[in-house]
Structure 1
């Protein structure tokens, strides 16, 4: 009730785990902020936690912000990191009257297959009866533990994700209604035995767009919240799968469960084949790009190397797409960013305008996936050295300062390659501008990205070609050993 002491726990802990990725996830990968620093890291930003903060402050509440931590997708979270970050949240629970958590939904730790579910169970045990609301990523792998230990769940409805703040506002608004005593909520769900491909979870077109639009309609028709989760299938856990989650008024679950089941069946299961991405050979994709370039009218053609996308846990250092493009005689290629700290160090030692011979890329072993990759020797000129910092000007994380680590531009004639110390998603033109490259002047733009680059780069391009290279984020499920996934599941079992 509003007469209660106003003490709200608000925290953020985000990680999408690719259990096949060799990229480690220690606590340093999260660059965590604690206490007042966690508050400052989100205040005025476009995160769900930022929305929680504004709602709580409008209520005049005392804020407890134990942690804000986000790491790029990578391998399982180190046990020590998971224990420390979750401990800070759980230990802050006593004495709080409302809890709002900005989580991802697809975290796997070395000591937890269900990172969010285990955390929520501990929070619930520490605060029985305290209203608990959660904002989740559209790619959450929802579990029974997540559903049963939250009063309110709302997920993103966009991919590329541009509604993080709005999702937090939605979840927070419902949670405040509970805290005031206006109404009570509970969560219901419908899991589906469907491992969708990330490229088919975009809300720009296709079945996920239709499903999320229908979810919005259902909300206007009286359901407090309906969220469609595409899941994150690059995790060898029991159910890295699609699900539908709804927040309903307490007592409405028996009436609303059939509605959610029917929606999930019609909008998703009956269209399950549309959630699967069929890859084509890399040479065929690049041949299409060459055809596009002949009628590009001076605009670059986007080559999206989604088989090595750091925002799905990629190493960001595979060379397959560039090697194949060069072998096909393609020129005027701008590449970025490719992560190779050793090559960066060599170019910084050489200095700008130096002629260098570099063993580039393929440094992270993918032997566990049966892939034997070796660095590629390239000769070129170090055109520019940079601190790798830029500010996002596009719609995703607008205004955020990005840090790629030390960054160098290697010019090999047919291609200009942005090489960084850290894996980095090409959110923005700043990836190229920070080393003096105008990407609009390239004939081809080779980006290690699935989706996040699109709001900025697609409008500047003559078209895009998706390139499924052999890496830890490939859409070719046959490259992965899914030993722990519950079967049958589509498409691993086509007759399900």
Structure 2
């Protein structure tokens, strides 16, 4: 049996000014051909799970591409065609099945629905090919995606610590299909609800209940997979929204029944998917007043590169410095130029930098605003380390040349490639012991929990500035369907 296994992942923030070209994918760690298998075999990714299943069955394995980039603006056509073209060409060469590790919120510059376009192209050259798909919890599910695959599933955790598990689950469904043991059918639905990612943590309500409903459904006879997608509201595309897909063994009525139950539960809780803002100054003052023997986590969520931000907005850092918080570690500020200046100065040197603020954000009407800051060059590294926590386990992180600036009260990790801090390695790789800091200021939303939740004595969200803002009033939506909640008040759907 010959199987094609591929990864093509990007969460597109259409409000982000960060360019998504092929170099952005290769900078994260994207590979073609045999290199794809070599770099992701043994990792806790769906790609890794697919490889294990296929290897155990003695399949001939073809890995045309394993590509992922940190969230950013729309994917350029050339980058998209590099990935999609490699996958479609591998299918054209002949195979018995395809197992795809996708995201579900990829917007290309030439098509809003990057995953749907890929699957449509595969179906055009292989109409009867069994295709299994994993998607991120933030997938904006579309009809093109469902109509052009055999079985589709999404992560049930945010932070995403079950990627291998769901890959194995849907991979087994596909191989059972090939063996004639099951006949998958899918029913899906999409709500006019722009759920905010800051309100999608699966340990929190309302997602906790919806995930429990999915897990309960999967225990029912005949149900092969049940998924609720929170969606990604920062992708301004017609299909953005909360969705549900159910896979059953040749029982469309059961799939539709479960789908409708979960969609109704989500819609009833729609107000709970909207974040309530608080003044930045008050939140920092609250943090300063806290007395804990251990880290208080401060979330600069509006500048979270894991949702497509620039990672160089200094608003929150400036306020924390202004209010005099002590013993703070920051991860991370994106500023390759500052890293170069610190490299030239050398470890132990005192430098004054115009840090961050190098990227304008026209979608929210903000220009970059650097912060002049003085400190000692504490550490210089190449920025490479391996995730050892529960998320992206075994994957090598490449932050690019990296430096630590020590102001006395604050140690700032400065990187040359974007990276969201979901693993403590972002600190330990540069000599910082996060568990011994009073404050950890993280440019993250929810993924930080994977590595840092066990350390946190308290957590505060700090409402700063950036293109991952949770304030819908700042975003000029042009393409989402209308009416849609919460941009519009809808009483019935």
- 1:386 is matched with which residue? 381
Q: Which residue matches 1:64? A: 62
Instruction: Within 5 Å, give how 1:290-301 maps onto structure 2.
Output: 290-292=288-290, 295-296=291-292, 298-301=293-296
Structure 2 CA distance for aligned equivalents of residues 384 and 301 of structure 1: 23
Task: Check if 1:368 corresponds to 2:363.
Answer: yes
- SS of 1:39's partner is helix
CA contact (8 A) 1:19 1:235 kept: yes
User: What is residue 36 of structure 1 aligned with on the other side?
Assistant: 34
Structure 1, 357-366 or 452-461: larger mean CA deviation: 452-461
Aligned equivalent of 2:236: 236
How far is the alpha carbon of 1:307 from its aligned partner? Answer: 0.6
Asked if the contact 1:150–1:187 (Cα under 8 Å) also holds between the matched residues in 2, the reply is no
Give the distance between the partners of 2:189 and 2:257, measured in 1 at CA.
Answer: 10
Task: State TM-score, norm by structure 2.
Answer: 0.96
The 5 Å alignment of 1:441-456 reads 441-456=436-451
Q: State how far apart, in whole Å, the 1-side matches of 2:380 and 2:254 are.
A: 62
SS of residue matched to 1:88? helix
Q: Distance in 1 between matches of 2:258 and 2:448?
A: 36
Whether the aligned pair in 2 keeps the contact of 1:151 and 1:247 (CA below 8 Å) is: no
Which runs of 5 or more structure 2 residues have no equivalent in the other structure? Answer: none
**2:473: which partner in 1?**
478
Q: Secondary structure at the match of 1:196?
A: coil
Query: RMSD of the alignment, in Å?
Result: 1.3
Match of 1:395 in 2: 390
Q: Is the 8 A contact 1:308 1:315 kept in 2?
A: yes
Instruction: Report the counterpart of residue 208 of structure 1 in structure 2.
Output: 207
Q: Which residue of structure 1 lines up, in the alignment, with residue 86 of structure 2?
A: 88
Could you tell me how far apart the structure 2 residues matched to 1:216 and 1:69 are?
A: 29
| Partner Cα distance (2:261, 2:393) in 1 | 38
Once residues 455 and 274 of structure 1 are traced to their aligned partners in structure 2, the CA distance between those partners, rounded to angstroms, is 23
Partner of 1:321: 316
Query: Hey, what's the Cα distance between the residues in 1 that align with 2:115 and 2:281?
Result: 40
What's the TM-score once normalised by structure 1's chain length? 0.95
- Say whether the 8 Å CA contact 2:387–2:396 is kept in structure 1: yes
Find 1:335's aligned residue among 313, 330, 339. Answer: 330
* Match in the other structure for 2:47: 49
Is 1:257 aligned to residue 256 of structure 2? yes
User: Does the CA contact (< 8 Å) of 2:364 and 2:475 recur in 1?
Assistant: yes
For the Cα contact (< 8 Å) 2:248–2:254, is it kept in 1? no
Which residue of 2 is the match for residue 75 of structure 1?
73
Between the aligned partners of 1:372 and 1:68, the Cα distance in structure 2 is 35
Instruction: Encode CA deviations 1:418-450: one digit per residue, 9 max, x unaligned.
Output: 111111111222222233222233221111111
Which residue is 1:226 aligned to?
A: 226
Measured in 2, the distance between the counterparts of 1:300 and 1:255 equals 47
Task: Report the CA distance between 1:463 and its aligned residue.
Answer: 0.7
SS at match of 1:206: coil
Per the TM alignment, residue 192 of structure 1 is displaced from its structure 2 partner at its CA by 0.5
Match for residue 3 of structure 1? none
1:110 aligns with 2:105: no
1:34 and 1:149 mapped to 2: Cα distance?
Answer: 24
Aligned residue number for residue 177 of structure 1:
176
Q: What do the CA deviations read for 1:9-62 (whole angstroms, capped 9, x no partner)? A: 111111100011111111121122112111112211111111111111222211
**Residues of 2 paired with 1:493 and 1:472: CA distance?**
21
- State how far apart, in whole Å, the 2-side matches of 1:368 and 1:54 are: 43
1:256-308 deviation per Cα after TM superposition (whole angstroms, max 9, x unaligned): 3133112210x20111111111121211221221232xx20x21211011111
Structure 1 position 255, deviation (Å): 4.6
For 1:142 and 1:128, the matched residues in 2 are separated by 21
**1:154 matched to 2:167:** no
Deviation beyond 4 Å, 4+ runs, structure 1: none
Distance of aligned partners of 1:375 and 1:274 in 2 relative to their CA distance in 1, 3 Å threshold: same
**Partner residue of 1:304?**
299
Aligned to 1:405: 400
CA distance in 2, matches of 1:255, 1:351: 65
Residues 57-66 or 479-488, more deviating: 57-66
Contact 2:154 2:229 in 1 (8 A): yes
Pick from 434, 438, 450: which aligns with 1:439?
434
Question: Where in structure 1 are there 5+ consecutive unaligned residues?
Answer: 1-5
- Say yes or no: does 1:355 pair with 2:353: no
Other structure's SS at 2:4 match: strand
Residue 194 (structure 1) aligned with residue 193 (structure 2): yes
What's the counterpart of residue 487 of structure 2?
492
